[in-house]
Structure 1
Amino acid sequence: MRGLKVLPSGRPGRGRLYVNLPDGQAVAWYDRQANRISVLEDDHREAVLAALRPYLSGTVSIGPPPVPTAADLRRLALPPDADLAPNRPGETLLGELEHGTAGSRARHRLRQDLAAQQRMGDALDALEQDGWRTLHCVPLPGSGHIDHLLIGPAGIFCVRTVPGRRQRAVVGDLLLTVGRAEPRPDPRWIRGAAVRATVLLAAKVTPALAVVDASRLETAPTVRDIRILQPQSAAPDLAAAPVALKAPDVEALFAQARDTRTWLPQRPPLSPGRTAAPRGGASRR
């Protein structure tokens, strides 16, 4: 069949590839992680294989779609503009650098932060083959963004990334210091973010600090509740942690976390016959 289109979904290089008819109707999809093609109508089987052939590698299985799980159903019902999964590491910083009006010094700091988030994000994305799922730039109203949210066998980790700038970094109970710069309140911030994420996901979230490219990293012995990560050691450190979540739980939590409506407050609908109060015009009794 001519006219089939292959369209990506999710993060580039990692999400599914959908095969659509010219009118946009999906007839199959290729799951890169499972290396499996799901065909909705067997009449299109050969045409689907021909369309996907340039993207296939290794031994690929093909058949009807598996019975959807609750996480699958939630993902399928997710509007594209509410999906956080396609976010790249440092997504918000990319926007600030492209459209912001910060001075040269501030832009230099932004570029350092972006490079650190990209390097740490790439290290976390590489854990996908071991059963982990990662989201980047998760909105936390009133507090900015969680740099990375990591969900996998060892649990859920709320990660804040700090550029080490090839200097000595010291993590204390309340502050983090890099070189001779002013101490930063990153430990306090990430604890608060993890508490809010725990409430919103209804599951325990562990705070984590990722320090990238520090010449030396020191952590105060009293810092026991925050996981300290580095790009080069994240995989073995997390692999050695005790298993806390099974694969179906990981997928269910990932489906919940990738939905922006989990993080952004939803305004309740107005009752019939009522209108919203004008801003600044109502007073509390």
Structure 2
Amino acid sequence: MTRLRVAPALRHSQDRLYVTLPDGTGVAWYDRGAGRVSLLPGAGREEVLAALAPYLSGEVTVGPPPVPTPAELDRLALHPDDDLAPNRPGEELHAALDGLPSPGRAGPRRDPRHGELLARQVVGDRLDGLDRSAGVGVRVRVLHSVPLPGADPAVRIDHLLIGPAGVLAIRTLPARNRRIRVADPMVRTGFSAPVPLLGHLREAAERASGALATAVRPVLVVVGASRLEVAPPPLDVRIVRDTEVAAPADAEGVLKPADVESLYATARDRRAWSGGRRGR
């Protein structure tokens, strides 16, 4: 077989390495989370394993691709415009900020949305890392910038995490070395006016619960705060720093792997959040 090439997946929530011919034709892939090398027809087992040798770890199963589950088949049938999986953290902010002049000494002031985008990227990277670090047979699925059509712009889902611990609707709060004070439902950043952020977060979680037909827990992640004061802690909203973002996902498992995949297949479909259906 001609010399093979190995490249990582380019989509969120996948920890795969793809093996291709020099012309880009795929011949196999290695799913590190599942510990499985899937060979396509015509692929040489020994050549593929030799190409993947520097990346293999632990016990690895080698064989043809597994038969897709109903949830996977439904996901594969998604129209690209309806698939939320490729969304980057802060996807709508990228669109809003593209084309704006870069701030400089003589230029315009820095748009505060730049700080918000950075905070979402920090949290998004940590969440995506939870999937990559999950053990064999354990999956943590993450979606970013989940739209809530018709809702108040303040009511949004920055990140949706689906894993053994359940479903989390996560809101990111950029603090930028300022003090954060939480007095349910109000949140105050530095000397700015308090806003009912916990109320917005609860509403977003309720909308997600209705769309997915399952319980969804609200989580507020504070990024870069010099001080975080929460008195008293709310019973229904988890509030953590960005360095502690794994804690809510590490709770006692309530979802089986099949449940995680089924919910993820539903959640990544844009139509699940609007009730609309696209003709095919």
3-state SS of paired residue (1:235): coil
Q: Pick which of 196-205 and 51-60 moved more.
A: 51-60
Are 2:164 and 1:153 equivalent residues in the alignment? Answer: yes
Are 2:173 and 1:162 equivalent residues in the alignment? Answer: yes
Are 2:182 and 1:171 equivalent residues in the alignment? Answer: yes
State the shift of 1:56 in Å. Answer: 3.4
Give the 3 Å change call, closer, same or farther, for CA 235–222 of structure 1 in structure 2.
closer
Letter matched to residue 252 of structure 1 = S
| CA distance in 2: counterparts of 1:267 and 1:253, whole angstroms | 18
Are 2:143 and 1:135 equivalent residues in the alignment? Answer: yes
Tell me, yes or no, if the aligned pair for 1:153 and 1:247 is still in contact at 8 Å. Answer: yes
Q: CA RMSD in A?
A: 3.1
- Alignment match, 1:126: 129
State the shift of 1:46 in Å. Answer: 4.4
Give the 3 Å change call, closer, same or farther, for CA 13–194 of structure 1 in structure 2.
closer
Letter matched to residue 99 of structure 2 = H
| CA distance in 1: counterparts of 2:36 and 2:245, whole angstroms | 29
Q: TM-score, normalised on structure 1?
A: 0.79
Tell me, yes or no, if the aligned pair for 1:5 and 1:51 is still in contact at 8 Å. Answer: no
Show the 5 A alignment for 1:124-273. 124-128=127-131, 129-130=133-134, 131-143=139-151, 144=153, 145-221=156-232, 223-239=234-250, 241-266=251-276
| CA distance in 2: counterparts of 1:85 and 1:139, whole angstroms | 12
| CA distance in 2: counterparts of 1:80 and 1:22, whole angstroms | 27
| CA distance in 2: counterparts of 1:17 and 1:98, whole angstroms | 31
| CA distance in 2: counterparts of 1:73 and 1:136, whole angstroms | 22
- Alignment match, 2:37: 37
For structure 2, which runs of at least 5 residues remain unmatched after alignment?
A: none
Letter matched to residue 136 of structure 1 = H
Percentage of pairs with the same residue: 47
Give the 3 Å change call, closer, same or farther, for CA 57–22 of structure 1 in structure 2.
closer
Letter matched to residue 212 of structure 1 = V
- Alignment match, 2:114: 111
Give the 3 Å change call, closer, same or farther, for CA 13–52 of structure 1 in structure 2.
farther
Larger Rg: 1
| CA distance in 2: counterparts of 1:12 and 1:268, whole angstroms | 24
State the shift of 1:78 in Å. Answer: 2.5
Letter matched to residue 96 of structure 1 = A
State the shift of 1:82 in Å. Answer: 2.4
State the shift of 1:219 in Å. Answer: 1.6
3-state SS of paired residue (1:244): coil
For structure 1, which runs of at least 5 residues remain unmatched after alignment?
A: 270-285
3-state SS of paired residue (1:197): helix
Q: TM-score, normalised on structure 2?
A: 0.81
Structure in which a larger fraction of residues adopt helix: 1
3-state SS of paired residue (2:168): strand
| CA distance in 1: counterparts of 2:51 and 2:266, whole angstroms | 30
Q: Pick which of 117-126 and 71-80 moved more.
A: 71-80
Tell me, yes or no, if the aligned pair for 2:38 and 2:65 is still in contact at 8 Å. Answer: yes
Tell me, yes or no, if the aligned pair for 1:135 and 1:150 is still in contact at 8 Å. Answer: yes
